């Protein structure tokens, strides 16, 4: 009798339809730099920029105008190769209430800081998160913000190419609030992001050079990502036209350790 019941239960499970993954217009990984070069004020500006963006009517409207009217978002932070973590897990945002709840959860999460800068580690971790999203997304985007070049982990170009090979778009938010002063700094971080970090269909970046521009830049970037508006020439204009060395961060770190 027990055997018959077990066989019947297994048959029913096999016949049950598999629940389809929820479809969304966009699966978005927000990957923010929390390395020691980001001072507490910069971290607060960065966090507040995303909180305000998800509370804004512009972002709500961009989500509503999508084919499905909903997106999936996860917010993670990163520093060196051993420092990547989820701050707010995958969340379906399908209207102002869900967006406000995501913003509130992000606002209440603690900040942290850690040594070194591994953009490649952030991209690899973001790709793992995309694989765990549990949604079926029309588009997949990694939104990377940071104030320095890759100086730990595998070369950033390898991580970028691995993401692009899977159809993921990488957008950038290079933070250029300080003048380069040390051997670890890259002279033209905007050009570095252009040549070494962003890529994929419609990829773009918005350099931040003034503290007062942070909130507007984050909101503008999210709206363009959600609405799939693609690059705009004024956003990606950089201060250096020549292509940069994508191993500049690693070379600077090696020189520092040798000296």
Query: How far is C-alpha 39 from the geometric centre of its chain's CA atoms?
Result: 20
> What are 22's strand-pairing partners?
135
Q: Is the pLDDT of residue 7 over 50?
A: no
**Average pLDDT for the chain:** 88
Q: Is the pLDDT of residue 189 over 70?
A: yes
Q: 111 is written with which tokens?
A: 């900040």
Q: How does DSSP classify residue 213?
A: G
Phi, psi (rounded to 5 degrees) for 182: -110, 175
Q: How does DSSP classify residue 22?
A: E
pLDDT tens-digit profile of 95-127? Answer: 999 999 999 999 999 999 999 999 999 999 999
Give pTM, 2 decimals: 0.88
Cβ neighbourhood burial of 153 (10 Å; 0-12, 13-18, 19+): buried
Q: Is the pLDDT of residue 10 over 90?
A: no
How many CB atoms lie under 10 A from the CB of residue 165?
A: 9
> For residue 72, how many C-alpha atoms fall within 13 Å in the half-sphere facing its CB?
19
Say what the pLDDT of residue 15 is: 38
pLDDT tens-digit profile of 226-243? Answer: 998 867 644 455 555 667
Domains in the chain and their CATH numbers? Answer: 21-258 (3.40.50.410)
Say what the pLDDT of residue 181 is: 60
Cβ neighbourhood burial of 151 (10 Å; 0-12, 13-18, 19+): buried
**% of the chain exceeding 90 in pLDDT:** 73
């Amino acid at each position: 009798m027990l055997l018959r019941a077990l066989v019947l239960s297994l048959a029913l499970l096999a016949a049950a339809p598999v629940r389809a993954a929820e479809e969304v217009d966009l699966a978005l990984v927000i990957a923010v730099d929390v390395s020691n070069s980001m001072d507490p004020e910069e971290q607060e500006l960065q966090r507040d920029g995303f909180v305000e963006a998800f509370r804004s009517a512009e972002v709500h409207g961009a989500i509503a105008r999508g084919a499905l009217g909903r997106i999936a978002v996860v917010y993670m932070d990163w520093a060196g190769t051993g420092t990547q973590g989820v701050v707010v897990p995958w969340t379906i945002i399908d209207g102002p209430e869900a967006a406000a709840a995501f913003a509130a959860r992000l606002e209440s999460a603690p900040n942290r800081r850690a040594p070194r800068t591994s953009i490649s580690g952030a991209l690899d971790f973001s790709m793992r998160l995309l694989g765990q999203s549990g949604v079926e997304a029309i588009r997949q985007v990694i939104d990377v913000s940071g104030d320095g070049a890759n100086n730990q982990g595998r070369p950033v170009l390898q991580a970028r190419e691995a993401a692009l090979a899977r159809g993921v778009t990488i957008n950038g938010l290079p933070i250029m609030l300080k003048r380069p002063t040390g051997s670890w700094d890259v002279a033209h971080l905007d050009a570095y992001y252009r040549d070494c970090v962003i890529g994929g269909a419609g990829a773009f970046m918005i350099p931040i050079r003034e503290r007062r521009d942070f909130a507007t830049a984050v909101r503008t970037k999210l709206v363009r990502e959600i609405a799939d508006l693609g690059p705009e020439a004024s956003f990606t204009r950089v201060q250096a036209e020549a292509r940069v060395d994508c191993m500049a961060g690693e070379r600077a770190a090696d020189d520092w350790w040798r000296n």
